[in-house]
Amino acid sequence: MARYESVLDWVGGTPLVRLTRAAEGLRPRVYVKPEWQNPGGSVKDRAALSMLRRAEADGSLRPGGTVVEVTSGNTGIGFALIAAHLGYRSVIFTSSMIAQEKRSQIAAYGTELRLVDTFVPKYHPDSLRSQAERFVTETPGAWLASQYDNPGNAEAHYTSTGPEIWQDTDGRVTHFVATVGTGGTISGAGRYLKEVSDGRVRVIGADPITSSYVGGDGSQKYIEGAGHFVHPEATVDEWPKALDLEVIDDYVAVDDQRAIDAVRRLARTDGILAGGSSGVAIVAALETATDLTEDDTVVVLLPDSGRTYLSTYFNDRWLVSTGFTGSATDFDAPTVGERAAAARLVERDEPLAAAVRRLAAEDVGDDVVVLVVHRREHRVLAPHPSDVVGWTTPARLRVAATVAGSVQPAGPRLGTGIGLADPAVTGWDPADGEVALVLDGGRVVATLTWAAVNLEPAAAGAAEVAR
């Protein structure tokens, strides 16, 4: 075993672990690189340390200074522990949508957490990014790391992750699979592996299906860290400077359900408890491995552990409430689907007359619930709940000035598997709203009215939830 003289020396040097049962029947050797072996529990400790050391070297961070970052969690944890060790103040801007475990861990190191939940595009004055920038301007000695554009991010992986993989496979790695968030991991490690192998190593980007990196619509997904989200009101889809597109040979797009299935299975087949973005990478790696030979060696990087997601991907109640399958309680009891109606959509900024005409042409009755959603170019899946502005009806639309002007807020989100018989499970009180959003695989596929809940099943009919 290694001995470290400080927590900083513990960053990096993660092992490779061969997949046995999960890779059964596949010809190549498949190794995972569990990055939760880093002191903060994720791959981002490497990037945080590298960016901070660069800032110290170029004078943008000085003794007594404040480390500031905008993050979906893991980078914040990395900065929090390094700042604690080196005696810097640290302030992390993040959203309450990230796993509670990550927020609690950041706070445990004595870091100040600023939770910003305003759902606005990056350049809006209230966005996470704008608030962090304002804080830095107003705070003497503050340094904003900007992982998306900071060259120290990919450099961390060029100088550590890539060389470790090369060394630990004795130069036999042929395929490197990683998810793409900021792009730091895949760009740095991928470039190193390509250079050292004279271009032989193929680099595969694993990405959520909605991510704009793989041509998705940029809508939200349930997998934290991987992929690229585009705010519905953003005027440009800006990609990180940390992402080096030249390095990536192929992409594999993976939906949330498959990623969740993959990590749940991996825990049971190989005893490896990995996080959601690891699921995206595992699916891509196993799919890639199907076409390879005994001479190939696939290395797949697992960014963080499943311990951070025990209350979500590994939690039956969460799975049921978001309409994902895989829970032990997928049951035959009455489901919300029996009384729900397939979702009908209008876009918030759609011209009113066009929306009214379209609904009339589709023969949508006056009182039928119509969801008002943000516009998404080439929508690939049903809307994510964050894309739903509220609901309306054709009758309301006819007397409104705009589509947006007729919106009523929607009530709770119910997974398709929730038994209506148990109000303790649905938790739906009519005061929450007359209309609930019904989720299947985390996406809004149907609506349910409070009136329909109170109908006898026979009277409600058996409106099928669109799948």
Residues near ligand PLP (CB under 6 A) are 42, 44, 72, 74-75, 179-185, 224-226, 275, 277, 303-304
Least CB distance to ligand PLP at residue 75 (A)? 6
Question: Least distance (Å) from ligand PLP to the CB of residue 447?
Answer: 32
CB-nearer residue toward ligand PLP: 201 or 418: 201
If DSSP codes are grouped into helix, strand and coil, which group holds residue 463? Answer: coil
Cβ-based nearer residue to ligand PLP, 66 or 185: 185
Residues in a beta bridge with 32: 17, 300
- In 3D space, the residue among 124, 100, 130, 127 whose CA is nearest the CA of residue 113 turns out to be 100
How far apart are the C-alpha atoms of 222 and 231, rounded to whole Å? Answer: 15
3-state secondary structure of 264: helix
Smallest separation, CB 183 to ligand PLP (Å): 5
- Distance CA(121)–CA(132), nearest Å, equals 14
Q: How far is the CB of 442 from ligand PLP (least distance, A)?
A: 17
| Residue carrying structure tokens 């390095």 | 247
Q: Which CB, 44 or 339, lies closer to ligand PLP?
A: 44
Measured between alpha carbons, how far is 98 from 406 in angstroms, rounded to an integer?
31
With a CB cutoff of 8 Å and minimum separation 6, the contacts of 373 are 345, 346, 347, 348, 383, 387, 388, 389
44 included as an active-site residue: yes
The minimum distance between CB 5 and ligand PLP, in angstroms, equals: 27
Q: Tell me the residue nearest to ligand PLP as measured from the CB.
A: 225
- CB of 226 or CB of 444, closer to ligand PLP: 226
Residue 126 Cβ vs ligand PLP, minimum distance, rounded to whole Å: 23
Q: Which residues, other chains included, contact 5 with Cβ-Cβ below 8 Å and sequence gap of 6+?
A: none
Spatial separation of the C-alpha atoms in residues 194 and 247, rounded to whole Å? 8
How far apart, in Å, do the first and last CA atoms of the chain sit?
51
Nearest alpha carbon to residue 103 among 79, 130, 74, 67: 74
| Cβ atoms within 10 Å, residue 308 | 25
Residue number with CB closer to ligand PLP (183 or 394): 183
* Nearer to ligand PLP (CB atom), residue 280 or residue 371: 280
Q: Coil, strand, or helix at residue 17?
A: strand
- Asked whether 399 and 360 are in contact (CB, 8 A), the reply is no
Distance of closest approach, residue 72 Cβ to ligand PLP, in angstroms: 6
Determine which helix (DSSP H) or strand (DSSP E) holds 436, and give its type and residue range.
strand 435-440
Catalytic residue chosen out of the listed positions 33, 44, 102, 194: 44
In whole angstroms, the minimum distance from the beta carbon of 187 to ligand PLP comes to 8
In Å, how far from its chain's centre is CA 133? 24
* Euclidean distance between CA atoms 237 and 427, whole angstroms: 37
Phi, psi of 208, deg, nearest 5: -60, 145
- C-beta closer to ligand PLP: residue 224 or 296: 224
Indicate the residue among 44 and 344 with the shorter CB distance to ligand PLP: 44
Pairing verdict, β 142-144 and 66-70 = parallel
Element (H, E) at 298: strand 297-302
Quick one: which of 440, 437, 380, 378 has its CA closest to 411? 437
* Catalytic positions: 44
